[in-house]
Structure 1
Amino acid sequence: MPPSPSVSSFLPLFLLFSITHLSLALNQEGLLLLRANLPIPGWSAAAATPCNWTGVACNRWGSVASLSLSGASLSGAFPISLCDLPYLSNLSLSNNSFNSSLPAAVSACRNLVSLDLSQNLFQGPIPATLSDLPFLRHLNLEGNSFSGQIPPSFGSFRQLETLMLTENYLQGTIPAALGNITTLKRLFIAYNHFSPSPIPPELGNLTNLEELWMSGCSLTGPLPLSLCRLQRLWNLDLSNNLLSGPIPSQIVELTSIEQIELFNNSFSGLLPQLGWPHLTRLRRFDASMNKLSGIIPSQLCELPLESLNLFENNLEGLIPESIAISENLNELKLFRNPLSGMLPRDLGKNSPLQILDVTHCNLTGGIPEFLCSNGALEALILVDNVFSGSIPASVAKCKTLQRVRMKGNRLYGEVPDEFWGLPNVYLLELHDNLFSGVMSPLIAGATNLSKLSISSNRFSGSLPREIGSLDALIELSAGDNEFSGEIPSSIVNLRQLWRLDLSNNDISGGIPIGIHDLVQLNELNLAQNRLSGPIPDEIGNLPVLNYLDLSHNRLSGAIPPSLQNLKLNKLNLSSNLLTGNTPPLFASDAYSDSFLGNPGLCIGACSHRGGSGRSRVFSWLLRSIFAAAVLIFLVGVVCFVIKYRKLGQMKKNRAAVTKWTSFYKLGFSESEISGCLKEANVIGRGASGKVYKAVLSNGEIVAVKKLHNRAFRDTSSNAIITSLDSDGDGFEAEVETLGRIRHKNIVRLWCCCSAGGCKLLVYEYLPNGSLGDLLHKAAKSLLDWPTRFKIALDAAEGLSYLHHDSVPPVVHRDVKSNNILLDKDFGAKIADFGVAKVVKSKNGLESMSVIAGSYGYIAPEYAYTLRVNEKSDIYSFGVVLLELVTGRPPIDPEFGEKDLAGWVRSTLESQGTSEVVDPKLGLMTFEEHVSRLLDIGLLCTSNLPITRPSMRRVVNMLQELSAVMPNSQEKKPRHSI
């Protein structure tokens, strides 16, 4: 029944009154906050004032003075209406997903004292109008996608104390006008895309400056003397630049300095020798990875330092004894310097020393006895020196030790019993010394030990049965010693063991029963001992055994047929007492050297036909003559083929002197490309050459790679590639591979040119550069999780095509984030096929003469066996997945002796997933999704090749994961960098 007319007429008026009443209940500032359309739980018009809302703080008069909405999952444009709040002095919107440009109207927030927009996706130029904010003291824009130059107008800030612009895409040069902000205390502009340029000397006018962070800014030239006038400066970080020349002696005038970071530059000459006593506050000095020469200043070592890093220089002479005086020293890294003399005898006596690394320093003498006097020593790295003497008893009892590396010295004597059983040591390397004595049963106490390498010493006696209790042991290398007795039966309890090397000892008895329980075993080397008895049939059941050497023993009986189940890169059973026939699989030429020196063994089926002695001699003579004739014929054929191929190659080379080959219909010529090869157009330098950006007359942009005449080690990218003389021409490899491949996730090669000594590859230009640059050298906040996942899937599909759909298959051999390029929509494409290898062998394995790849990406078995197949690429791709999840590079000093894969595994076990995931990702929406991709990365980086999935399987897993990608308001970037 409809309401009466009187009720109907009053209903709209009642609703209007209710809405008006609610609006009147909330003050004007609350309405302004609601107008900003920020979806913050608890913000409601039902309140009288916003002062109790989440993130809101009011002054004593009840007006909004501070708004802190960090990590609130906000996105979209900057809420400019907040500038209408008349008393707003502090605004923090950090760690969100705002993805617009920052409007110039932000200057309307006239009363701002602090503005924090860090860790967002803001793009475009930084508004020059920010300097119009008269009261602004703290400006934090780090971790965004701002581009363009730092506005010169910033020099007119009136009260600014903190300016933080790190990890953006800022270009141009650092403006000298910044030297006008005399109120500035903190200037952080590290890791931007500045053009190579010197440090503006005007920064020396910042007399109130306390912290200066300009790492990774492409700074060149000498260190300006004007910076040495900054008397309040306590933190100076100019690392990872191109600075050169000497470190000025005036640096000792920075009397307030506590930390100096100058590593990874090109500083040369001597360190200042005098004036260091004035730096009474200096705690950390790092000038490593430069070109410094001369001696280490004794005055520097007399300071109360906590950390002294001078590694990878050309420093000579003695390590000053005064370094042992410091009561704070916890880190001393001097490795890879041509030093001489001994370690200071009192080192560690007065300080809580934690890390000592003097690898490759040519040091002599003994190991100082006080290194662990304060019970803090964790890493003792003495690799490849000339140390002699024995291990001090005090060091042997140092229970805090975790990494011990003493290989390549002249240390001798018995290893103290306590040293074998240190409870926290996970890496113990003593090989290539002169140690003697026995391995103590106390080794049972080394419960964390994962690698024990004691080869090439004079150890004797039997291996203790207690060694079988080391559940974490992955590698046991004890070859080239004088061990005797039998292999302890308990060794089959080492279920994590990956490598077992007891070769060249005096071990007797049989191979232990139950060896099939070592299901992770990849390498078994028991050669050159006195082992006897049969080869256990159960060895053939080891699922991932790759290397088997039982040569030069006294093993007898038949070769177990089960060995045919193994997928071996090496098999050596020579010089034993084996009898019978070899299993059929081993009758091929591939195993011709595997069974030498076994008189009773027949390759294939043995013949036992009778006959007179004379007929047997005659038959043998005929066979010999026939074999000789065949050999001569084959030699002739081989010589003919070699000469024919050389002649053909010479013709081919002559024909290729000025050869221009295109693989698509092109709109440009060779001469136009050559005109673009200018230093100003260089956009990348790699292990095989320079890459240029070429803008053509028709408006098209291409990338041109000009190859070096020879290969080299690229120290910037840690790449190792094969010599063009030893393993084929990188130019030919890339042309052969890319010229015939058509796939959306593999970079397209337009054409190539070989003109005399100049070899060029012209391929499509991808505007967003490499994944490695975005993750590790730029503002990785640009890469939200959906974008990172899309990159992973695209790259996986490209590799899957190479492995499974290309005919013949192709192994890339240098998969890494720097070789995954991104187009304008962040689609990923595999690039750089300079060391790729077409797989021609039936078993998918190719033997290389040297290692190719990049440190941190090389599969363990590849580095050892020089055998390559698609499993090597899968390991490298797994490292890329871990980079996408963690945001960390494949190798990092923070990882210690580990690479990224090892660090992730150990950190997951000890601290959980949250400690390995890139904090820029924000796990609220994607936590489960990120964890599942992390699991795929760990599966791909398994130490055992057989347990790694195929790339086709990886693509399937990623596609399944793509189907359950959570819905999110996070934006996917669509602009080019």
Structure 2
Amino acid sequence: MGCRNLRCFHLIQFLYMIASLERMIYCLSPDGAALLSMKVSIVDPLGRLNDWLQSDSSPCLWTGVRCDDSDNVIAVDLSNMQLSGNVSGAIGRLTNLVNITVEQNNFTGSLPREITHISGLRFLNISHNNFSYNFPSNFSNLQQLGVLDAYNNNFSGPLPIQISQLPNLVHFHLGGSYFEGNIPPEYGNMSKLQYLALSGNSLTGRIPAEIGNLSSLEQLYLGYYNVFEGGIPPEIGKLSKLVRLDMSSCGLTGPIPPQIGNLSHLDTLFLQINELGGSIPKELGNLINVRSLDLSNNNLEGKIPEELQNLQSVELLSLFLNHLEGGIPLYLAEMPSLQALFLWSNNLTGVIPQMLGTNGNLTQLDLSSNALVGPIPPGLCTGGKLVVLVLLKNQLSGALPEDLGYCKTLNHVRLGNNQLSGAIPKGMLSLKNLQMLELVSNQFNGSLPADIDAPLLQFLDVSDSELSGELPPSIGKLPNLQKLFLSKNRLVGSMPPEMSNLRSLSYLDLSENHLSGPIPAELGRCDQLFYLDLSVNDLEGEIPAGLQGLQVLGFLNVSRNHLTGRIPPALNLLQSLTSADFSHNNLSGPVPTNGLFQYLNASSFEGNPGLCGHGISPCSHSDDRSLPDSGETKRAKRFRAGLKAIVTVVVVAVFIILALLVSFIHNHKEQLCDMCKEQPSKRPWKLTAFQRLDFDCHHVLDCLHESNIIGKGGNGVVYRADMPNGETVAVKRLKKGGHMGGSDDHGFSAEIQTLGKIRHRNIVKLLGCCSDGEINLLIYEYMPNGSLGELLHGKRSEMLDWKTRYNIAVQAANGLCYLHHDCFPLIVHRDVKSNNILLDSNFEAHVADFGLAKSFQDSGKSESMSSVAGSWGYIAPEYAYTLKVNEKSDIYSFGVVLLELITGKRPNEPGFTADGLDIVHWVRSRYLNEDQGLMQILDPRMLCSELPLNEVVAMVGVALICCSIHPVERPTMRDVVQMLADVKPKSRGGSFKDNARIERPLISL
């Protein structure tokens, strides 16, 4: 009886709970119930929506929810909450919604078609997510919609035509996805449209003339990654209210239509990075309100028109990389608002206007790579705002203006390769914001200023400039200096011991001077020093043993001095040293035989009559006895001989065991496979799709067989997977060792987070990912032609002719350029190599494998890693030895890939040992130092067909610049893309050599 009563009690309690739950659901408003239904499909790792509770009667106080006076939900704002998952169709039940904002999250899947049921919707912002598929077909139901912002998603297919039927649309942004095909002419029907952005897609065809019918349009963005046919339609000139026009980097050809001069309200005109030709229309002088005008990187010719003097409001004028000729107009100096003037790499002649800068607003000036003559204007820093001054590669003469020594804002100064004379202005090397000063190849008088004290200076190059006098002790007051080049001058005296204070120094070149005295032992304290060249001086005394403190030293040249004594055996301890030259001194004794020394050529020691060994001359018995601890050396030799015998026996035994093991596995393969089959995971599989997928994780798992393996790497195995719908994908199964987002997920989170954000035709497309919390799978588009490494070094390498290799180089460069310059924060790949460049059916290159990728908030700053990550042979010197990495590390690796394309050789081959240990040193030694150097390094498989040697020579130049020892010398990826474009001959003024090392200034508006 008691048990029966107890059961009745539990039944009553259960019914009470059900009734209470019903009352809770009944109390919650329909809008609240719809929001809770939405919440089910949302992944909320930070708990931002924890206050969305069923126990509330109204959702009006919930995070991101706004109601009207009748408690109807009228706005849902979930922006920037780090949410993921899907936006469910339950949102369509919020029929009173006016505003939906879910920007800056990671939502995937399709935009729910139920959203079109909300007839009163006026504002829809879904930007910066991973939505895919096409827009709902009945999107035209949203007749009240005024703002539609879908920027930076994964939408594909043609642009939705039905959008043109929205009569109240004012703001329309579909940029940054994968839309393809033509711009519908129907878009010209949106009479109220004020903002139209279609940039950053894969659009083609012509820009329709109907765009000119958008009479209310104020901002138009069509550039970046779209490739339009033909030119700019003249009808653009009908957009009388247009304030901002950006059609940059979209393949435009033909002339700039003069009708653009009708856009009197234009504030910004960006037409850069196209193939526009002809002259600059004089009608652009009618744009009296324009503040930013960029026509750079085109094929424009002729003179800068006088009519541009009407642009009294212009702040940025950028015309670089064209074929402009004639003088720089005097009126540019009179423009009151001019802040940034970029005219570099043209054919400009004459004198720089001497009043330039006197408007007091000039911040950036780059007139490099022209044929300008005369003096540098004296008032460039009149307003105390000048930050960037680049005038290199001209024929400028006269003294540097004295006021540059007082320009406290100066940060970046490059005046090299001119005919400047006089003294370096007093105070110039004491500027507190100065980071780079390049005065190379000029004709200065006098010595370095004694008042050196620039705390931020990182780069100082005054080589080949006829400097005299002594190095001042104040040279040690540059705590952040990384590179000091003072070679090919007339410096005298000794090296001051204060140089040991340069603790950030990585490159020091004092060669070809008249320095005397000993090499300071204190130099060994510069523990970041990688490159040390003291050759062709009058240095004397012994090589200090203290140099063994330079543990990252990779290059040492002390040749052609008067050094005496022995080569310190302690230098054997420098494991990073790959090149050394001790020739033409008075050194004596035996050459060390261990470490680096066994790889050096005899030429590294010639000109030292007292040296012996290493193929120079035999060492006498007295030489051997003079060595310290000779008895210990003999005992060490006997020990090594015994150890060698033991190792030989062990190796033979291991080989026998391995052979027996392989034989056993072969004979029992089936039984072992059955034993080793992995048990099906008991965890549920989750598929995260980044575009429409007609398969699920189980279809993928069915293909993970040994017979489908197409590649193996450090992070896992790659399989070919044929899906039931006929689609072929590539699946990378990462090694076990942690959950998604854990501290040991072998790159899974890195690849997901990186590939989920970036979109470019030359970066491999991530279709989705599968995870059960233990096993992680990445699903990529399949690349039928495998990796570049396979085709260069495998059996099918004969398929790669020069044209194909060149195209691969350009396409891979474009992919990396996107990572470095179009992603914010910028992305450093950290494992650029030929095996990570995949080729589709048309041999188009796609950069892949982002397991080591890292985002950087601030371009140009290095970040220290805990260990070296990447592939040997591709790793930049400063990364391998200092663990400091930035985007310049990728550029070095890409230079190695270019050398692979040219030579057909791997980065590290046994044949390189005698010439420098890797492909970079091998190419430099053969190509630069031998007759017929090009033929020595060319892949002979390319010689079977017609080969444009001028293009090959140009690409070798690009590769070697990318592989410059110091990061500062390497170009940016934007520069690399441009230099590779210049490899193909076209009607551009100047030569490859002239344009190869141009550094583009950063433009900040």
Partner residue in 2 for 1:641? none
Describe the SS at the equivalent of 1:285.
Answer: strand
Is 1:180 aligned to 2:284, yes or no?
no
Among candidates 28, 37, 41, match of residue 26 of structure 1: 28
Among candidates 596, 604, 608, match of residue 598 of structure 1: 608
Q: Cα gap change, 1:211/1:835 in structure 2, threshold over 3 Å: closer, same or farther?
A: farther
Number of residue equivalences: 728
Distance in 1 of aligned mates of 2:271 and 2:142: 34
Partner residue in 2 for 1:170? 179
User: What do residues 837-873 of structure 1 show as CA deviations (whole Å, max 9, x unaligned)?
Assistant: 550244733410458597799444399999xxxxxxx
Partner residue in 2 for 1:954? none
With 580-589 and 30-39 compared, the bigger mean Cα shift is at 580-589
Is the contact made by 1:211 and 1:233 (CA closer than 8 Å) also made in structure 2? yes
Is the contact made by 1:181 and 1:206 (CA closer than 8 Å) also made in structure 2? yes
Describe the SS at the equivalent of 2:495.
Answer: coil
Distance in 2 of aligned mates of 1:550 and 1:583: 16
Is the contact made by 1:814 and 1:854 (CA closer than 8 Å) also made in structure 2? no
Among candidates 761, 778, 791, match of residue 849 of structure 2: 791
Partner residue in 1 for 2:918? 845
Among candidates 374, 390, 396, match of residue 387 of structure 1: 396
Distance in 2 of aligned mates of 1:589 and 1:376: 53
Distance in 1 of aligned mates of 2:391 and 2:813: 40
Is the contact made by 1:221 and 1:244 (CA closer than 8 Å) also made in structure 2? yes
Partner residue in 2 for 1:144? 153
Q: Cα gap change, 1:481/1:568 in structure 2, threshold over 3 Å: closer, same or farther?
A: same
Partner residue in 1 for 2:122? 113
Is the contact made by 1:575 and 1:598 (CA closer than 8 Å) also made in structure 2? yes
**1:839 alignment partner AA:** E
Alpha-carbon distance, 1:794 to partner:
9.0
Among candidates 348, 353, 361, match of residue 352 of structure 1: 361
Is the contact made by 1:306 and 1:331 (CA closer than 8 Å) also made in structure 2? yes
Query: Which 5+ residue runs of structure 2 have no aligned equivalent?
Result: 43-48, 623-721, 731-759, 763-784, 837-846, 854-866, 876-889, 928-954, 971-975, 977-997
Describe the SS at the equivalent of 1:29.
Answer: helix
Please give the TM-score of this superposition, normalised by the length of structure 2.
0.65
Among candidates 227, 237, 243, match of residue 234 of structure 1: 243
Among candidates 478, 485, 494, match of residue 486 of structure 2: 478
Describe the SS at the equivalent of 1:91.
Answer: strand
Alpha-carbon distance, 1:320 to partner:
1.2
Is 1:546 aligned to 2:565, yes or no?
no
Distance in 2 of aligned mates of 1:178 and 1:288: 29
Alpha-carbon distance, 1:577 to partner:
2.5
Q: Cα gap change, 1:176/1:425 in structure 2, threshold over 3 Å: closer, same or farther?
A: same
Is the contact made by 1:467 and 1:490 (CA closer than 8 Å) also made in structure 2? yes
Alpha-carbon distance, 1:133 to partner:
0.8
Q: Cα gap change, 1:41/1:773 in structure 2, threshold over 3 Å: closer, same or farther?
A: farther
Q: Cα gap change, 1:605/1:35 in structure 2, threshold over 3 Å: closer, same or farther?
A: same
Q: Cα gap change, 1:815/1:408 in structure 2, threshold over 3 Å: closer, same or farther?
A: closer
Distance in 1 of aligned mates of 2:896 and 2:173: 28
User: What do residues 433-455 of structure 1 show as CA deviations (whole Å, max 9, x unaligned)?
Assistant: 01111222211x21111111111
Partner residue in 1 for 2:335? 326
Is the contact made by 1:257 and 1:281 (CA closer than 8 Å) also made in structure 2? yes
Alpha-carbon distance, 1:183 to partner:
1.2
- Map 1:731-746; keep pairs closer than 5 Å: none
Is 1:292 aligned to 2:273, yes or no?
no
- Aligned-residue CA RMSD in angstroms? 4.5
**1:19 alignment partner AA:** L
Partner residue in 1 for 2:60? 51
Partner residue in 2 for 1:934? none
Alpha-carbon distance, 1:549 to partner:
2.1
Q: Cα gap change, 1:797/1:529 in structure 2, threshold over 3 Å: closer, same or farther?
A: closer
User: What do residues 98-150 of structure 1 show as CA deviations (whole Å, max 9, x unaligned)?
Assistant: 22122433321111101111122211122232122110111111211111101
**2:23 alignment partner AA:** H
Describe the SS at the equivalent of 1:515.
Answer: helix
Alpha-carbon distance, 1:256 to partner:
0.9
Q: Cα gap change, 1:854/1:91 in structure 2, threshold over 3 Å: closer, same or farther?
A: farther
Partner residue in 1 for 2:412? 403
- Map 1:859-938; keep pairs closer than 5 Å: 859-861=963-965
Is 1:69 aligned to 2:78, yes or no?
yes
Q: Cα gap change, 1:831/1:360 in structure 2, threshold over 3 Å: closer, same or farther?
A: closer
- Map 1:315-714; keep pairs closer than 5 Å: 315-443=324-452, 445-566=453-574, 568-584=577-593, 590-602=600-612, 603-607=616-620
Describe the SS at the equivalent of 2:410.
Answer: coil
Describe the SS at the equivalent of 1:190.
Answer: coil
Q: Cα gap change, 1:388/1:208 in structure 2, threshold over 3 Å: closer, same or farther?
A: same
Distance in 1 of aligned mates of 2:542 and 2:895: 49
Alpha-carbon distance, 1:10 to partner:
5.7
Partner residue in 2 for 1:946? none
Is the contact made by 2:400 and 2:424 (CA closer than 8 Å) also made in structure 1? yes
Alpha-carbon distance, 1:816 to partner:
4.9
User: What do residues 769-825 of structure 1 show as CA deviations (whole Å, max 9, x unaligned)?
Assistant: 9975985899999x9x9x999933499999769999xxxxxxx998559989xxxxx
Alpha-carbon distance, 1:422 to partner:
1.0
Describe the SS at the equivalent of 1:344.
Answer: coil
**1:355 alignment partner AA:** Q
Describe the SS at the equivalent of 1:563.
Answer: helix
Is the contact made by 1:814 and 1:853 (CA closer than 8 Å) also made in structure 2? no
Alpha-carbon distance, 1:32 to partner:
2.2
Distance in 2 of aligned mates of 1:756 and 1:17: 74
With 374-383 and 52-61 compared, the bigger mean Cα shift is at 52-61
Distance in 1 of aligned mates of 2:1001 and 2:339: 23
Alpha-carbon distance, 1:599 to partner:
3.5
Describe the SS at the equivalent of 1:470.
Answer: coil
Is 1:35 aligned to 2:9, yes or no?
no
Is 1:224 aligned to 2:297, yes or no?
no
Alpha-carbon distance, 1:509 to partner:
1.3
Distance in 1 of aligned mates of 2:143 and 2:761: 45
Query: Which 5+ residue runs of structure 1 have no aligned equivalent?
Result: 610-694, 704-715, 719-740, 805-811, 821-829, 867-875, 877-895, 904-977
Alpha-carbon distance, 1:523 to partner:
1.9
Q: Cα gap change, 1:744/1:281 in structure 2, threshold over 3 Å: closer, same or farther?
A: closer
Q: Cα gap change, 1:861/1:803 in structure 2, threshold over 3 Å: closer, same or farther?
A: closer
Partner residue in 1 for 2:143? 134
Among candidates 142, 153, 164, match of residue 155 of structure 1: 164
Alpha-carbon distance, 1:327 to partner:
2.3
Describe the SS at the equivalent of 2:451.
Answer: helix
Please give the TM-score of this superposition, normalised by the length of structure 1.
0.67
Among candidates 282, 286, 289, match of residue 273 of structure 1: 282
Partner residue in 1 for 2:774? none
Distance in 2 of aligned mates of 1:591 and 1:833: 23
Q: Cα gap change, 1:476/1:12 in structure 2, threshold over 3 Å: closer, same or farther?
A: closer
Is the contact made by 1:503 and 1:526 (CA closer than 8 Å) also made in structure 2? yes
Q: Cα gap change, 1:836/1:215 in structure 2, threshold over 3 Å: closer, same or farther?
A: farther
**1:598 alignment partner AA:** N
Is the contact made by 1:583 and 1:604 (CA closer than 8 Å) also made in structure 2? no
Q: Cα gap change, 1:856/1:374 in structure 2, threshold over 3 Å: closer, same or farther?
A: farther
Distance in 2 of aligned mates of 1:555 and 1:818: 36
Describe the SS at the equivalent of 2:152.
Answer: coil
